[in-house]
Amino acid sequence: MENKFEELRKRCEEMAALGSAGALLGWDQNVYMPPKGAQARGRTLAVISELAHHKLTCRETGTLIADLYDWAQAKGYDSFEAAFLRAIKRDYDQEVKIPAELVKELSLATTASFEAWHKARKASDFAMFAPHLEKVAELNLRKAEALGYDKSPYDALLDLYDAGMRREKLDGIFAELAAGLTPVIKAINERADKVSSAPFKGDFAPAAQLGLALEIARALGYDLEAGRQDLAAHPFSSGILSPDDVRITTRTQADWLPACVYASIHETGHALYEQGFPGEFAFTPLASAASLGVHESQSRFWENLIGRSRPFAAWALPLYRKHFPGKFDSLTPEDIYRAANRSEASLIRVEADEVTYNLHIALRYEIETQLLDRSLKIKDAPELWNAKMKEYFGITPSNDAEGILQDVHWGYGMIGYFPSYTIGNLISAQLYAAIRKDLPGMDAMIEKGEFAPLLAWLRRKVHAQGRKYQPEELLDRAAGQKLSVKPFVEYIRTKYSALYGF
C-alpha cells in the first residue's frame, strides 16, 4: 500500500506541477505577456489543463484511489493520508463524471460566449449575448446531470466551488440576508451625506499608492520572500506554488485611493491564506483552499473586518501621511475610518461596499438558479435584474452594460460560482467573532499594527488545514459554528447604525 500511495503521490505531484505551470502562464498573461503572445498562450493553457485533466481522470489514477481509500481512512480521519485520499477522490469523482465530449462542447461554447459577452457589453445589448447564455445554461444543466444531485441540478454546480453547499441552504441564506440588509440600506440611503469619502479622493501618485499598499501588505504578514506585487488591469492573487510562491497584483486609480489600497488588502488576504499552507502539503491536493468561499472569507476578513475597522484607521493614518506628504495632515483617524466606510447603493458589483455587496450576489443567484431550472426565460432576465435592483437598492440600471451584462462569469460559462462571494463574507464575520473571543485585546493590537496574533489564529485554525476538511467542517473546527447569516448582519447593523446614526 505504501508503494501505491507513493505512486499516487507521484501522479498528484505531476498534476500539481502542471497546475503550477498553468498558474504561472495565467499570471504572466495578465501581467507581463507581450500582446502577440495571446493566441498561443490560450492554446498552451488549454493543452496544459487537458494534460492535467487526463492525468486525474485516467484509469490508473482511479484504480489507485479505489485501492488506497480505505487504507488511508484507517490511518485516522485527521491523518495526512486520509485527507489526501478524501481530496483526490472528490476531484476524481467529479471530473471523471463529465464526459470528454461535454468538456469540449463547454470549452467551445465558453470561448464563443466570452467573445459575445465582450461585444454585447460594449454595445450594451443583452440580445447579442442571450443565445450564448442560453447555451451556457443548457450545457451547465447537462454538466449537472452528469455530476448527479439529490434535489436541484444547481446543487451539483455549487458543489464544484463549495463542497457540501446546497441550494436549499442558500435560499434561506439569501432570504435572511435580504431581510436583514434591506432596512439597513434604506436607512443609509436616507442619510447618504452623513459619511464622506472625500479624504480618499484627490490626486494620488501611482508609485506612492503601490508603496503604501505594499507596506500595509507586509505589515499584515505577507511574506515578500515568498511573493511579489505587480500591476494588473484586474487585481488578483495567484498561488504559483503554495506556500512558497504566492503573488498579488494590484492597480492604481489616481483619483480614488481605495481602488489600490483596499484591492491590495483583499488580495493580500487571499495570499496570506496560501502562504499559510503547510510546506508538506506542497505538490499534493491538500495545498489548496477548503473552498472558494473559505478563500473569499480570508480576503474579506482583512479587507473589511480588519481593514475598515476603527483601530486600523488609527494605525494607517501615519502611513497615509508618510506616503502622501501633506495630504492627510489635517485628518483624524475618525475621518479615515468614516471615509473607508461610506456605503452607497450602486449599480456595479465590483465597486459595491460591504453593506450592499451580498444583495448584488442575491440577485445573480436568483437569476442563475431560475435560468438553470428553466423557470425564467432568457429574454426576461434583464427585466428581473432591474426589478431586483429596484427592490434591493431603489435604483435601476439605465442600460444592460451597467445591468445584467456587467459580470464576466456567465460569459465564462460559470454558473454556481457567485454564491462563493457571499459565503466568504458570512464566514469572515463568523471568524471575526470567534477571534474577538480568543483575543480580547485585539483592537489595541490592531491600533499598534500588531497583526501577528490575528494571523497566527487564522494560520492555526484555517490556513494550516489547507484542504483537509470540507468547508463547513473547517468552520466548525475553527469557530465552533455552522455557516450562519447572523454574525454578518449583526456586524453590519451595529457598525452602520453607529456610522450613519439610525
Catalytic residues: 267
Among 155, 245, 296, 303, binds a copy of itself (CB under 8 A): 245
308 contacts 340 by C-beta, under 8 angstroms: yes
Q: Which of residues 323-342 bind a copy of itself (CB under 8 A)?
A: none
Among 169, 228, 321, 486, binds a copy of itself (CB under 8 A): 228
Q: Is the dihedral of CA 345, 350, 353, 354 positive or negative?
A: positive
> What is the rounded distance in angstroms from the CA atom of residue 377 to the CA atom of residue 413?
18
Among 7, 9, 30, 44, binds a copy of itself (CB under 8 A): 44
Query: Is 214 one of the binding residues for a copy of itself (CB under 8 A)?
Result: no
Query: Is 224 one of the binding residues for a copy of itself (CB under 8 A)?
Result: yes
Query: Is 444 one of the binding residues for a copy of itself (CB under 8 A)?
Result: no
Query: Is 384 one of the binding residues for a copy of itself (CB under 8 A)?
Result: no
In sequence order, what DSSP letters do the residues of 427-466 get, joined into one string?
HHHHHHHHHHHH-TTHHHHHHTT--HHHHHHHHHHTGGGT
Q: Which is nearer to a copy of itself, 278 or 419 (CB)?
A: 278
For residue 299, what is its C-alpha cell?
480576503
Query: Is 24 one of the binding residues for a copy of itself (CB under 8 A)?
Result: yes
Q: Which residues contact 74 (CB under 8 A, 6 or more apart)?
A: none
> What is the rounded distance in angstroms from the CA atom of residue 356 to the CA atom of residue 392?
9
For residue 494, what is its C-alpha cell?
451595529
Smallest distance from a copy of itself to CB 222, Å: 11
Strands 245-250 and 229-231: parallel
Query: Is 103 one of the binding residues for a copy of itself (CB under 8 A)?
Result: no
Query: Is 278 one of the binding residues for a copy of itself (CB under 8 A)?
Result: no
Smallest distance from a copy of itself to CB 109, Å: 21
112 contacts 142 by C-beta, under 8 angstroms: no
Query: Is 33 one of the binding residues for a copy of itself (CB under 8 A)?
Result: yes
> What is the rounded distance in angstroms from the CA atom of residue 18 to the CA atom of residue 33?
19
For the CA atoms of the chain, what is the radius of gyration?
23
> What is the rounded distance in angstroms from the CA atom of residue 45 to the CA atom of residue 43?
5
Query: Is 12 one of the binding residues for a copy of itself (CB under 8 A)?
Result: no
Query: Is 7 one of the binding residues for a copy of itself (CB under 8 A)?
Result: no
Q: Which is nearer to a copy of itself, 44 or 79 (CB)?
A: 44
CA 495-497-502 angle, 5° bins: 175
Smallest distance from a copy of itself to CB 185, Å: 42
Per-position x/- string for 45-74, each x denoting binding to a copy of itself as judged by CB under 8 A, each - no binding: --xx--x-----------------------
Helix (H) or strand (E) holding 239: strand 237-241
- Residue the block writes with cell 450545457: 139
Query: Is 145 one of the binding residues for a copy of itself (CB under 8 A)?
Result: no
Query: Is 36 one of the binding residues for a copy of itself (CB under 8 A)?
Result: yes
Query: Is 28 one of the binding residues for a copy of itself (CB under 8 A)?
Result: yes
Q: Which is nearer to a copy of itself, 120 or 241 (CB)?
A: 241
- Residue the block writes with cell 508618510: 322
> What is the rounded distance in angstroms from the CA atom of residue 397 to the CA atom of residue 363?
14
Q: Which is nearer to a copy of itself, 55 or 75 (CB)?
A: 55
Smallest distance from a copy of itself to CB 111, Å: 17
Residue of 396, 389, 355, 340 lying closest to 181 (CA atoms)? 355
Q: Which is nearer to a copy of itself, 24 or 395 (CB)?
A: 24
Positions touching a copy of itself (CB under 8 A) are: 13-14, 16-18, 20-22, 24-25, 28, 32-37, 39-41, 43-44, 47-48, 51, 223-228, 230, 240-241, 244-245, 247, 282-283
